[in-house]
Structure 1
Amino acid sequence: MQLRAGVGKSDITTNREGVFVSDRLYAKALVLDDGNTRVALIAMDALAIGGIGDIKDDFLPKLRDRIEEELHIPGGNVMVNASHTHPQGRLLCEDDEQVERTFDAVRQALERMTEVTAGSGFGREARITFNRNLRMQDGRHWTVRYAHPCPPDGEVAGIGPIDPDIGVLRIDRMDGRPLAVVYNFACHLLIGVPDRGVTANFAGFASKVIEDQLGHGAMALFVQGAGGDLLELHFKDVNRSRNCEPLGTMLGLSALEAVRNIRTGAAALSVCSETIRLPRRTDIAERIAERLREQQELLASMRSTCLNFKSFLPLYLKYALNPEHPADYSYRYMQEAAIGANELTTMDAHNRSNLDAYVRNIHTMERLIRIQEDIATLQVHLQLNREAGEPFIPAEVQAIRIGDCALLTAPAELLVEVGLKLKQASPFEHTLIAAFSNGYMHYAPPAEHYDKGGYEVTECLLAPEWQQAYEQKAFELLDRLDRPAAGAGER
């Protein structure tokens, strides 16, 4: 039977008074049906599907129950992805309205079903993101965050990987006009817009570029990837406006280039979904104690400085501008040397010692800020694990095949190394990693990161054994999906 598809969307932006809305937020739905299987893909401009942000934990089961009861799409065939947009404050409409409006987007899509063809491919955009886990000279990670300063440049040994691929699923009407584009990119939607209002962030701007250029009422659905440790390249800049629109334009244009190179044809569907139990961490109390010991050691090292900031800054600039002759003109040093005096050089040595001590104290202060943030985060997670009262976290893993394209979900912020590994090992030609889907359980870092001290390991409820359990199930589900027939139905 010919593949059929429909699209729909609902505005899910908050309507609370006093909240400035820069651009609207949407729940977008794509429903696909090949006569044997029916699937709903839902992309939401939201921080997460439960766990944190405006969407509560009961949203997903309520939505799936209603879709299954009224629209006859099995709950396990419904994928809901959050873009992970980060503006502060309330973003979305009220709780009951979230379910109602998102359901309505799926209902619209089902009512507009038409015969389609499908195809997939990859684009590339390497100019937007960087890996925020800096590799340090001591082998540990220092995570670039707004909450604490960056490390001294001389201590940084290297950077980690990014995933520049834009995974694209193209859905066309039978006459060749585009109906929908699902595009998948690993990133972190943090910069926002200059007015700091509610925004879908650069994914929202990218979707607008794609839809405006394709025309014909085509809908672009952004699916967040394994971007837990990726940031916008200009995230820490202080000399340019914090504006994500140029990034969105770049991403949209790069996705469009991939869309135009994709040929569509017949495509069959299949879905597998299972809930597994991932182990919780048991070492959080010990990690807090470790941070407290490190804090005490650093505090004890902050001793003996005669400078304050008022005296330090002009002195530091003076010695930085002319390291060889900082105190006066060069001829004064020549004259002093000619008569056998050493007043200037002695003063310089004393000042440099004081400057070095003050700079060491600054670096110690920066480390203390990071430790304080880590301790606060670890205490929250210790409480969450204690309140859970059981050693495992349920996690849904879902795999969806559309032609020669597979979508693989995770209810967590997968780090980029995990996503790259899944893509590389997948048996499918095109695999899209849909992290932030069907739930939220904070960060999921690679097991090898756990002793390196990065933020994502600190902000993590899972024991390192999670990775093997998740990947084993993910590969099992991918293998269970029916493989596409070679060269089927291209046009």
Structure 2
Amino acid sequence: MRSVAAILTIGVLIHFAATPTLAGLQAGAAVVDVTPTQLPVLVNGGMLSRSVDTVKTPVNARAIVLDDGKERLAIVVVDSCMMPRPLLDDAKALAALRTGIRADHMLISATHTHTAPSSLSCLGTDADPNYVPFLRDKLAEAIAAAEANLEPARVGWAVGNAAEFTALRRWIRRPDRIVNDPFGNPTVRANMHAGANWDDVTGESGPEDPDLSIISIQATDGRPIAVLANFSMHYFSDQALSADYFGLFSEGLKSKLTVEGDTSHPPFVGIMSHGCSGDIWRRDYTTSPPTEPAKTIDSFANELVKIALDAIGTIQYDEDATLAMAERRLTLNYRVPSAQRLEWAQKIVDAMGDRPPKNTTEVYAREQVILHQRQSTEVVVQALRIGDIGIATTPTETYALTGLKLKAQSPLKNTMVIELANGGDGYIPPPEQHFLGGYNTWAARSAGLEIQAEPKITEAALQLLEQVAGSPREEYQQSRGPSAEAILAAKPIAYYRLDEFAAPHAVDSSGHHRDAVYEPGVVFFLEGPQSDKFCQEGETNRAAHFAGGRLRAHMQDLGDQYSVSMWFWNGMPDEAREVSGWLFSHGPDHGLGSNSDHLGLGGTEHPGKLIFRHGGAGAKTEVGKTTIPRWTWNHVVFERDGEFVRVYLNGQQQPEIGVKLPSGLLSPRKQVFWGGRGDNESNWEGRLDEIAVFPRVLSTEEIKTLAGQ
């Protein structure tokens, strides 16, 4: 063993000595076929094990090597569902022996096609024992082949808008339509594809990312060498074995950018890497019936190629780009089963013997035993810089929100996020999403990391981006359009834009430092109202979606004259319950005070109309005039003027509700709630945004202005 190690060390030294170091950026690219030579082969991507003996399209490893004279790094994207870290560590070590590249300067990611050979054991499918060593060798071969093609190069960045080709697949279910998880517990408040039935849901559980990001690499004479694209769309679905739309996109780019008749240079390499797509798919459930942007996988890929080509045509290239790359390894715990669940699982696994699982119950029982045995795992996070372009990685199936967090806070203006890189560690929902349950949260190797895995991996990636950029991260703050400025000009004592990435605090943008607190049951960064008025330069206005939780604050100096301005979007159908949801409440927690105020939206009683109640049980309901459609943004002002209450809708001069109360007294408690009442009865199910509190009665002209008119 010592002699072998010595030979390998000498080989590495000889290779480094023989590798020229030239000033200026160099790039090389290559494609290596990783289609298995032994069929049938196990295939990842389903709940239960399956194998296939046919090949519809080849599956490939597509590699780029970059060198700036000081640093050399490799980026490889593989047509695979997921690849385990130990396999990739072995492949990198082997590639390091064959090249002048350090193992920690190699990024290897999966496209996440669900029709590729299995190299990772997950759910009901084991890794194919014949394919794993074959793939390891091919990955090293791809890196060496790309390095052999190094030549002087230049690099540029562009982004195309592909919003029509991606959408949220994870939707929030109504509180009365919760279903059971595989362990028999009613925990599924959100799940994939629930939006197919509008009657069951209140809205999407997060934002989407429409960016088709492009890193284009050319020879110094303008000849295309490679394009690395990145897009957040889970997979299209195809017959196995297949590279899915990722491979079709890559080949489509090659057909468009290859210089015809050029046999003196290496072939152009197109690459589609996987963006943050854990809660993303192609079907848009916001339309009825749900729509798909393309009828076939070919047309889907071809349309993305057109968007990419248009973006590439706008690029200005940099021939002097320098490189940097950094890596961090984290130990993360698994969410291991309780003693009771482990006992349940072990009985099922013992009865199975050596055979693979035959149903979902057996799958998740076996997963509990495996998580218990492993307890924790190591994950790899990376960041790299190519000139002013950044790439961050996650080793997981990552929600679109996480990718948006990294892009918005990156110290590098141009940043893409590649998921399932350097490992395949399953879904990492943001912590608030665990509260809503669903497949993406069920403890297994497909989603077994600790609840805090997402913020830990996100923070590690941001720190690495800071390291390679040599500058601090951006502090995200939503831009202020004219409507936001109008609210501030009216001098609120608190102003909540609800543009946060995460709990627990809703930041007070008024400057008075009255931050509010989100309770569990709220998700973040959904699209809000009037982006063109609340934000600048095309930025999307952001809102929070309430799914049983509330926003709460103490208003110590709120007197008997005040106004609350807010935007609301109702997700509940009128027939779901008596009150669709309570928007605002001023009074005690855990109950209803005799002098408390409550503003809500009617359900089976007074469907779709604003309602107001003063006091506790048996209080009279005051009802508005206008029926408000579900899933539409509306503006409301609640105004307390001593004994008088007035409620204004969408800037109208005449109030929807106007009532004189028998007493002008307010509750002595200073608790204020949005998205629910003090007693948590019929809390809001939908989005809220741009909440402002004023210590006075607003004029009708101010109300009109706050409504964006």
TM over 0.5: yes
Structure 1 residue aligned with 2:217? 171
Structure 2 residue aligned with 1:277? 331
Structure 1 residue aligned with 2:48? none
Shift of 1:99: 2.2
Whether the 8 Å contact between 1:6 and 1:114 is mirrored in structure 2 is: yes
Structure 2 residue aligned with 1:203? 246
* Alignment equivalent of 2:401, drawn from 411, 417, 428: 417
- Structure 1, unmatched stretches of 5+, are 51-56, 291-371, 485-491
Mapped partners of 1:407, 1:286: distance in 2: 43
Q: Kindly indicate whether residue 464 of structure 2 is the aligned counterpart of residue 477 of structure 1.
A: yes
Mapped partners of 1:404, 1:286: distance in 2: 52
Structure 2 residue aligned with 1:436? 420
Mapped partners of 1:240, 1:119: distance in 2: 28
* Alignment equivalent of 2:161, drawn from 117, 121, 124: 124
Structure 2 residue aligned with 1:353? none
Structure 2 residue aligned with 1:228? 278
Greater RCO between the two (CA within 8 Å, min separation 6)?
Answer: 1
1:273-312 aligned at under 5 Å gives the runs 273-282=327-336
Structure 2 residue aligned with 1:64? 92
Shift of 1:241: 11
Q: Please tell me the residue identity of whatever aligns with 1:420.
A: L
Most deviating of 467-476 and 201-210: 467-476
**Matched length:** 390
SS of the equivalent of 2:163 reads coil
Percent identity (aligned): 24
Whether the 8 Å contact between 2:32 and 2:142 is mirrored in structure 1 is: yes
Whether the 8 Å contact between 1:415 and 1:445 is mirrored in structure 2 is: yes
1:50-449 aligned at under 5 Å gives the runs 50=84, 58-87=86-115, 94-138=131-175, 141-144=189-192, 152-159=197-204, 160-192=206-238, 196-216=239-259, 217-233=267-283, 243-265=296-318, 266-282=320-336, 378-388=364-374, 390=375, 392-449=376-433
SS of the equivalent of 1:212 reads helix
Mapped partners of 2:333, 2:282: distance in 1: 31
* Alignment equivalent of 1:457, drawn from 438, 441, 445: 441
Output one character per residue of 1:71-97: Cα deviation in whole Å (capped at 9) or x when no partner: 121000000010010027669983332
Whether the 8 Å contact between 1:87 and 1:190 is mirrored in structure 2 is: no
SS of the equivalent of 1:276 reads strand
Mapped partners of 1:466, 1:103: distance in 2: 30
Mapped partners of 2:291, 2:212: distance in 1: 29
Output one character per residue of 1:276-319: Cα deviation in whole Å (capped at 9) or x when no partner: 122321466788999xxxxxxxxxxxxxxxxxxxxxxxxxxxxx
SS of the equivalent of 2:309 reads helix
Shift of 1:239: 11
Most deviating of 196-205 and 82-91: 82-91
SS of the equivalent of 1:127 reads helix
Q: Please tell me the residue identity of whatever aligns with 2:202.
A: A
Most deviating of 459-468 and 233-242: 233-242
- Mark the CA change 1:97 to 1:239 in structure 2 (over 3 Å): closer, same or farther: closer
Higher Cα Rg, which structure: 2
Structure 1 residue aligned with 2:567? none
Most deviating of 196-205 and 72-81: 196-205
SS of the equivalent of 1:63 reads helix
Shift of 1:219: 0.9
Shift of 1:5: 0.7
> When you count helix as a share of all residues, which structure comes out higher?
1
Mapped partners of 1:445, 1:68: distance in 2: 34
- Mark the CA change 1:151 to 1:286 in structure 2 (over 3 Å): closer, same or farther: farther
Q: Kindly indicate whether residue 15 of structure 2 is the aligned counterpart of residue 4 of structure 1.
A: no
**TM-score normalised by the chain length of structure 1:** 0.73
Output one character per residue of 1:123-176: Cα deviation in whole Å (capped at 9) or x when no partner: 12112222111122329643236xxx8774212211232111011111110101
Mapped partners of 2:431, 2:360: distance in 1: 19
